[in-house]
């Protein structure tokens, strides 16, 4: 079944077979009928944490590789000297408790933890995120 707009057009230009005429109509007339620059309405369900993380990723990775972050991280690791979770003194890393202050974090926004505890923290965060999300 053909669209109503095509049927009207075909009645006016009906010189070819209907199938060929429909292909021509799709290429020439139909695109002109579509609204241009129409923004899709935002779905409220899409405003979740994943979209926020996707927006942060380029900034986050760029910042983590910056000299500014490396200086802050080195300073906090030297000041703390031990993992805040298990007390280990080797392989210390800085863990962001949240990303709201990314680029201008203060000491209270960071946890100094060893590599093992850092991995555990991220596993727990992913687990908590999965639990808190409503089933789709």
Q: Dump pLDDT digits (tens) for 77-134.
A: 999 989 999 999 999 999 999 888 888 889 999 999 998 888 888 887 665 555 555 5
Rounded to whole angstroms, what are the CA distances from 60 to 41, 57, 81, 101, 107?
A: 28, 5, 25, 11, 18
0.85 exceeded by pTM = no
Q: Where are the domains of the chain?
A: 50-132
Name the CATH code of domain 50-132 (choices 3.30.70, 3.30.2010, 3.90.550, 3.40.1800). Answer: 3.40.1800
Helix (H, G, I), strand (E, B) or coil at 93: strand
Q: What proportion of the chain, given as a percentage, has pLDDT over 90?
A: 28
The average pLDDT across 17-29 equals 71
């Amino acid at each position: 079944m053909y669209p109503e707009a095509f049927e009207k057009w075909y009645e006016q230009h009906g010189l070819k077979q209907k199938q060929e005429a429909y292909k021509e109509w799709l290429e020439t007339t139909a695109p002109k009928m579509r609204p241009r620059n129409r923004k899709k309405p935002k779905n409220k369900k899409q405003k979740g944490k994943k979209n926020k993380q996707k927006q942060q990723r380029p900034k986050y990775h760029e910042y983590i590789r910056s000299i500014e972050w490396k200086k802050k991280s080195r300073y906090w690791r030297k000041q703390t000297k031990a993992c805040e979770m298990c007390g280990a003194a080797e392989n210390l890393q800085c863990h962001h408790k949240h990303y709201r202050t990314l680029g201008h974090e203060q000491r209270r926004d960071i946890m100094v933890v060893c590599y093992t505890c850092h991995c555990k923290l991220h596993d727990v965060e992913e687990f908590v995120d999965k639990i808190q999300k409503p089933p789709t």
